[in-house]
Amino acid sequence: MKKIKELRIKNNLSQKEMGKIIGVNGRAIGNYERGIRALSVDKAKKLGEYFKFNWWELYED
C-alpha cells in the first residue's frame, strides 16, 4: 500500500504518529506500507476522514 506511505510522508508524520490517528502502533503502519498486513476498511475510513479524502483511493493502484 504505497499510498499510505505517500500520505504519511506528504503530511510529515512518523509511522507512530499516523498509527495514533487510526488506533494502531507504528509497526502496524510499517506493515501496511510494505503490504505485509492488509489495511481494514474501518482504518481506511479513519484515514479518509482525518485527511479529508475518499478512503477508497487507498485501495486503488
Q: What is the pLDDT of residues 17-60, one digit of tens each?
A: 999 999 999 999 999 999 999 999 999 999 999 999 999 999 88
Residues 6 or more apart whose CB falls under 8 angstroms from that of 21 comprise 13, 46, 47, 50
Is pLDDT above 90 for 61? no
**CA dihedral sign, ordered 17, 19, 24, 27:** negative
CB-CB contact of 19 with 47 (8 Å): no
* 39 CB neighbour count, 10 Å cutoff: 22
| Whole-number CA gyration radius for the chain | 10
Sorted by where each starts, the structural domains of the chain and their CATH numbers stand as: 2-59 (1.10.260.40)
